[in-house]
Structure 1
Amino acid sequence: VSAKKAVEDYVATLQYVNSIIHNHHHDNNNNKSIIDARPADRFNGIVAEPRANLRKGHIPYSINIPFMTVLEPNDVTSFNMDMLLNNNKNMISSLLMGEGKEELIFTCGSGVSAAVLLMAN
C-alpha cells in the first residue's frame, strides 16, 4: 500500500513480502516498510496468537506500531478524527517517510488491526 495513496483491494503476496525481507537483509536503503499493527507482546512472540496454528513472532525487518496507539484512549469504539488527522497521521508518515520510505505495507493477524493503521496514515 502506498503511503501517498492506498491501493484498494491490495493483498501483498508471500513472494512480494519475501522480496522485501531479502532487500532489507542485503540493502539498508530499502524504500519499503512492513508495519505490524498487533500488540507488542504478540509482535515479540511473548504471547500466543489467538488463532490456532499461527506462529509466534513477526515478519523479519517489520516495525511494530500497535493499532491502539492511534485510537482515542478513553473510547476505542470510535475514532477521534482530530487526533487521527493531526497527531497520528504525522506520527506514522514522519516516522517512516522521513527515512525515505515510499511504500508501507500494513499487517496484523487478520487485517482488521492493520486497517486501523492504514486509516490513521
Structure 2
Amino acid sequence: MVDARGAARFRGEAAEPRPGVRSGHMPGALNLPYGSLLNPDGTMKRGAALEAAFTDAGIDLDRPVITTCGSGVTAAILTLGLHELGRTSRLYDGSWSEWGAPEGGPVVTG
C-alpha cells in the first residue's frame, strides 16, 4: 500500500480536510507524496529518476502495489508512474476518506 498524501497527513500531524475523517495512515502503508514523481516544471519524471522516487520511499517494485491517497485522485499519479515503469498496480478508490472514516479500518499515526 502506497499513500500519495503529504507526509504530515500520512503521519497524522495535519488534520484531514474532510470533517470526521481520522488522521494517520493504514497499517503497513508507505508514504510517497505524489509531488515526488514530478519535475520542477510539473512534468512526470522518467526512467531512473522515476524509479528512484519509488525505491527511495521503500517500495519494492517487484511486489504488488496498491495506491491510495485522500480520495483516490492523486493516487492515480502514482498509478501512472508505475505504469510508466512497466508495473501494474491497483488504485484503492475509497482511499483515506473511506478508511479514515469513524467506521473505517485501523489507523496508525507517527
> CA contact under 8 A between 1:36 and 1:114: conserved in structure 2?
yes
Choose from 56, 59, 62 the match for 1:96.
59
Q: C-alpha separation between the residues in 1 aligned to 2:60 and 2:29? A: 15
**Number of residues of Structure 1 aligned to a counterpart in Structure 2:** 81
Q: Retained in 2: the 8 A contact 1:85–1:120?
A: no
User: Which structure carries more helix by proportion?
Assistant: 1
TM-score normalised by L of structure 1: 0.58
Matched, 1:59 2:26: yes
User: What stretches of structure 1 of length at least 5 have no aligned partner?
Assistant: 1-33
Gap runs ≥5 in structure 2: 83-110
Quick one: distance in 2 between partners of 1:69 and 1:111? 17
TM-score (structure 2 length as normaliser): 0.63
Question: Which stretches of structure 1, 4 residues or more, deviate above 3 A after TM superposition?
Answer: none
Q: Which residue of 1 aligns with 2:74?
A: 113
Say what the alpha-carbon RMSD is for the aligned residues. 2.0
DSSP-derived class of the 2:65 partner: strand
Name the CA distance, whole Å, in 2 between partners of 1:91 and 1:46: 23
Contact 2:37 2:53 in 1 (8 A): no
Report the secondary structure of 1:68's partner residue: helix
**Residue aligning to 2:46:** 84
Taking the aligned partners of 2:16 and 2:39, their CA distance within structure 1 comes to 25
Q: Percent identity?
A: 37
Shift of 1:93: 5.6
- Paired residues of 2:14 and 2:23 also in contact (CA < 8 A): yes
Q: Distance in 2 between matches of 1:39 and 1:51?
A: 15
| Larger of the two Rg values belongs to structure | 1
